[in-house]
Homo-oligomer: A and B are copies of this chain.
Amino acid sequence: MLIRTALAACCILVTATSAFADDGLLQEAKDLFEPIPVGAPEIEGNPATPEKIELGKMLYFESRLSESHTINCNSCHAIGQGGVDMLETSVGHRWQQGGRNAPTVLNSVFNTAQFWDGRAKDLEEQAGGPIINPMEMASSHEHAIEMLNKIPGYAAKFKAAFPDDSNPINVENMLKAIALFEATLITPHSPFDRFLRGEENAMTAEQKDGLRLFIDQGCASCHNGINIGGGMYQPFGVVEKPGADFLPPTDKGRFEVTKSVDDEYVYKVPTLRNIALTPPYFHTGKAWDLRQAVAVMGSTQLGADLSDEDVDKITAFLHALTGEQPQITYPVLPPSTVDTPRPKP
């Protein structure tokens, strides 16, 4: 049985490779991209255990980490909605609206850095940001830890997740647990990934045409690698600056982090994985139409005036980047007691 399966897989691979021998599409794609693995990737210095992931899931859904007790990670990075909130910019503490569109949590473990401006080097650092951002969860790390210490049910959960720590409820462990859970939020088996693994018919003819254009027009020079993006920084408007709606002059992107003029209006190239699930687009969230976003990218980044037909094909290819969505059992959170700090809505 094992041998038969292996042989079958081998045959599929051979067939697929031959089918694209004429224009080398599969080989070019393999050189540029990498499929999402099936299991969660390891995080250096933060080895995974089921207890740590379970704790991280609880914290991901834990609204009491916010000042008002109404906002949690999942509020803006909703697991059942492509890992986003489908808003232009998120609604945070006391209905303040954030400055940039919420990026997807899905596959974010594969990004070079986190946030649109890359100001967090990894998921652990990222997870600490929104908790203390006065526009978002508006708490402090000290208060978050006090809160977790005063919800009695968390003591055993942290102990199980970090058995060697004498005082396991601390900021570092909170962020490690959240990051490990987030690393499980990956979406393998998209049609494109199945194609990359040699399954010729996983993508439609139109999607393959779109991939050909995506490579030939130059999209793949930035949107490449395992996340088809997420691996570098680029100015928005390499060839031609977009209008102020898409690129308001007040937000200078990575410049805010590095203070280098070279980084003005520079952003992390976003992942295109599951992009069909995550409107609206761009850091402003002002593009609701994926076709429009493709056309704008063509003109601003590549100086290409893509035809409607080409936009359609590239958009069709982008739909092939939707993978299998995470199946998460909603966590049961421990109750507050009379000693738990109260919400301040």
Contacts and interface: CB of A to CB of B under 8 A. Distances in A.
Interface string A77-93: 01111100111100100
Q: Which of A79, A80, A82, A95 has the most chain B CB atoms inside 10 A of its CB?
A: A80
Nearest to A87: B343
A335 B276 contact: yes
A333 B274 CA distance: 13
Contacts of A331: 80
A87 B61 contact: no
A97 B344 CA distance: 12
B330 A82 contact: no
Interface string A264-292: 00000000000011110000000011111
Contacts of A292: 338
A73 to B, nearest CB: 13
A64 interface: yes
Contacts of A97: 345
A70 interface: yes
A345 B94 CA distance: 12
Q: How many copies does the complex hold?
A: 2
Interface residues of A, number: 44
Contacts of A327: 329-330
Nearest to A84: B335
Contact of A330 (B288, B330, B333, B336): B330
Contacts of A1: none
B277 A335 contact: yes
Contacts of A342: 288
Nearest to A70: B91
Q: Which of A64, A82, A291, A336 has the most chain B CB atoms inside 10 A of its CB?
A: A336
Given A338-B288, A342-B288, A343-B87, A332 B80 contact: yes
Nearest to A61: B80
A330 B329 contact: yes
A340 to B, nearest CB: 8
A68 interface: yes
A338 B290 contact: yes
B95 A69 contact: no
Contact of A69 (B87, B94, B278, B328): B87
22 contacts: A63-B86, A69-B85, A69-B86, A70-B75, A79-B330, A80-B332, A82-B335, A87-B345, A88-B343, A94-B95, A276-B335, A278-B335, A279-B337, A279-B338, A288-B338, A289-B338, A327-B329, A327-B330, A328-B330, A329-B329, A329-B330, A330-B330
